[in-house]
Amino acid sequence: MALKKKITSAADMLTSAEKVAVLTGAGISAESGVPTFRGPGGMWEDAKIEDVATPQGFSKNPRMVIAWYHKRVRRMKDVRPNPGHEALAEIERRIVARGGEFALATQNIDALHYSAGSKNVLELHGSLARWHCTGCGHRIEFDPDNVPEEPIYQCPRCGRYIRPDVVWFGEALPQDVISAAADAARNCDVFISAGTSAVVYPAAGLVEIAVSSGARTIEVNLDPTPFTNSVDVAISGKTGEILPQIIAQMPEE
Ligand code: OAD
C-alpha cells in the first residue's frame, strides 16, 4: 500500500473509533533529542544494561547508577515534546470530546507525553522525575527545571541510597499500570504502536493483546518490528511526521 493510502486508512480508523489505546517507546521521543535504546547511537551502546538497569548493577555500584540517572534527570529540562507527542494528545482530546475512551501506555520515563498535554498516560516503566529511598521508602520528586547540579545519593531522612522509580530488568512493572494498559489494549477498537521496537515484554505483549482481541491496529515506526506483518496498517517513518499527517486527514471535530 502506498504511504498516502496508509495514512488515509489510519485516519479513517481513528475517525470512527470510540476506544483508542496507544503504546509508545523511545522512538517517539527521538525527535525531541532523547536517544533511543537499541541501534546506532542508542543508550545501550555506551551503558551496559546489566550495569545501569538491573537491581544487581545497582547493588554493585549504587553511586554510579544514581549518577547515571541523575544526568538524565538534569537533561529533562532541555527536552520538549515534538509533533508526535502533540498529535497523540490531540487524538486523545478528540476521542474524549466525542465521549470515547483513550489510554496511552508508554515505555518512556521522560514525561514528555504529559508535557504535550496527554492526560490518561500509563507509565509502564516508571518516571525519571520520581525517586524513592531503598530503605524507608521516602519519596523525592524532582522538578525538571530545578534539579540540583550534583546527584543526591542518600535519603535525607535515613541516609540509605535513593533510586529512581523506574523499572529495571528483572523487576515487575507496577501491577495497576500494566493491568490498566492490558484492559485498554483488550477493549479498544483501534490500537496504535508508535516508536517502539516492540521487543521488550510485557509492554510488547500489549500489541499481541490488541491484535488477538480484534482491534484495528496501526504501527508507526522507522524500522520494522516483530508485529509489522500482523498489524492492519504498518507505516514506516518518523512519528513526528506521520502522526500529524494522520490527523490532517481526519475531519475537524
Ligand atoms: P528501542 O530503542 O528498542 O526502539 C526504538 C524504536 O523507535 C526503533 O524500532 C526505531 O526504529 C524507532 N525510531 C527511532 N526514531 C524514530 C522516530 N523518529 N519515529 C519513529 N520511530 C523511531 O526503544 P523501546 O522500544 O522504547 O526498558 O525499548 C523498550 C524498552 O527497552 C525501554 O523502555 C527500556 C529498554 O531497555 C527499560 O529500561 C526497562
What's residue 131's pLDDT? 98
For cell 473509533, the residue is 17
Query: What's the 15 CA to ligand 1 centre distance in angstroms?
Result: 27
Residue whose Cα lies nearest atom 15 of ligand 1: it is 27
pLDDT of 43 over the 90 cut: no
- Decide if 113 is catalytic: no
Atom number in ligand 1 closest to CA 31: 18
Residue 13 corresponds to which amino acid? M
What's residue 41's pLDDT? 74
What's residue 1's pLDDT? 81
What's residue 47's pLDDT? 80
- What confidence tens digit (pLDDT) does each residue in 138-176 have? 999 999 889 999 999 999 999 999 999 999 999 999 999
In angstroms, the CA 212 to CA 89 distance is: 26
Q: For ligand 1, say whether the CB of 239 is within 6 Å of any of its atoms.
A: yes
In angstroms, the CA 44 to CA 39 distance is: 8
Q: pTM (2 decimals)?
A: 0.95
Would you place residue 42 in the very low, low, confident or very high pLDDT band (cuts 50, 70, 90)? confident
Query: What's the 197 CA to ligand 1 centre distance in angstroms?
Result: 5
| Omega before 148 within 30 of 0, i.e. cis | no
